[in-house]
A and B are shown apart, each in its own frame.
Chain A
């Protein structure tokens, strides 16, 4: 069964600083991996996804993530934080072509300080 662990339920950075949100996954088969963002009082929107092509994935709003199979990680980064990045971020894993279950992490709330 798949599982996702997001390290740090809250992360705080200064505007202009590096954003690093950590995600480790567990899957018995090659996974699909996703990062979603949720702004206050809104639904989730897809930031980026890994579906077994390039291991470095670029997403919207300057975010990127690197799939590292040896570390079972899919950390999300952005070189320079902007105030508008303040939101909650969710990592998710699905069983590629398998059970169709989709498992989300518990989320990391990002605060950006001026």
Chain B
């Protein structure tokens, strides 16, 4: 089945630094990737939708200059958290749907970001 590989699984960084999270579709082309954020004991909240070769669409309240999304190829989308602060500590997870193969959305395994 469709697989989305997400790296890193967890990362600890210092305040003010930037962190890049990668999501790669291994055996299908993901023209669209969805990025979610999940705070502890809460639901998944959509942050942005990235489309290959074009600018990402951000949800209301999500700072596009802080959460940079790049979707330069059909198999790779990246989320960069710039100038991270402790309040950015969260679980970030990506998702894509393999077009034409069914209804299921494939999720990456998630990245647990801790900013100290």
A and B pair up: no
